[in-house]
């Protein structure tokens, strides 16, 4: 009973994250963004997705990482949520990964800090760990 799952993978800094492909609507590289003053720092702006207004959240600032270097444009991952679309900004997009349920592990108890908050666990890939993003948490913005 080896269940296969498909994940869309991407990088933020050196972390490899995965989101279930069913949650991903599309990935775009260039999106005009309208900044939202007074919003928490992780809210990067608003995107016009064919007439729908989508909030863009920067995973780098969720993880407490420094801002992207000038000239390094983020990749926008548009996601389905209960509340319409939302989007996450990441550094680089990876492959679609097929994983076996047996390779899933919960995060180690010793892992603390922002990464622990954002992941449900990790899949053991051949030479890397792919962290499964907890979308609820990543997209949550305390107001």
Task: Give the footprint of another protein on this chain (CB under 8 A).
Answer: 32-41, 43, 45-48, 50-55, 57, 81, 83-86, 139-141, 143
To another protein, the closest distance from the beta carbon of 137 in angstroms equals 12
Residues 6+ apart with CB under 8 A from 126: none
What is d(CA 72, CA 49) in angstroms, rounded to the nearest whole number? Answer: 22
Q: How, if at all, do strands 75-81 and 4-12 pair?
A: unpaired
To another protein, the closest distance from the beta carbon of 69 in angstroms equals 18
Nearer to another protein, 1 or 38 (CB): 38
To another protein, the closest distance from the beta carbon of 48 in angstroms equals 5
What is d(CA 3, CA 99) in angstroms, rounded to the nearest whole number? Answer: 8
Nearer to another protein, 43 or 125 (CB): 43
């Amino acid at each position: 009973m080896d269940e296969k799952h498909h994940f869309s993978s991407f990088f933020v800094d050196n972390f490899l994250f995965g989101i279930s492909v069913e949650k991903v609507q599309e990935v775009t590289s260039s999106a005009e963004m309208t900044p939202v003053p007074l919003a928490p720092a992780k809210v990067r702006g608003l995107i016009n997705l064919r007439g729908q207004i989508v909030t863009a959240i920067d995973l780098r600032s969720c993880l407490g990482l420094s801002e992207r270097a000038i000239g390094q444009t983020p990749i926008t991952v548009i996601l389905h949520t209960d509340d319409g679309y939302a989007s996450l900004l990441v550094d680089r997009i990876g492959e679609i990964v097929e994983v076996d349920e047996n390779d899933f592990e919960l995060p180690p108890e010793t892992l603390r800090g922002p990464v622990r908050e954002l992941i449900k666990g990790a899949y053991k890939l051949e030479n890397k760990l792919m962290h499964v993003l907890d979308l609820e948490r990543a997209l949550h913005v305390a107001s």
